[in-house]
Amino acid sequence: MNFESIREYCLSKKGAQEDFPFDEHTLVFKVKGKMFALIPLERLPPQMNLKCDPERAIELRENFNAVKPGFHMSKKHWNTIELEGDVNAKKLSMMIDHSYDLVVSKLTKKLQKELEDE
26-45 pLDDT per residue, tens:
999 999 999 999 999 988 88
Residue spans per domain, the chain: 3-117
pTM as predicted: 0.94
Where does 3-117 sit in CATH, by number? Answer: 3.90.1150.30
Residues with Cβ within 8 Å of 115's Cβ and at least 6 positions away in sequence, in order, are: 14, 15, 31, 32, 104, 107
Q: What is the pLDDT of residue 74?
A: 86
The alpha-carbon radius of gyration of the chain (Å, integer) is 14
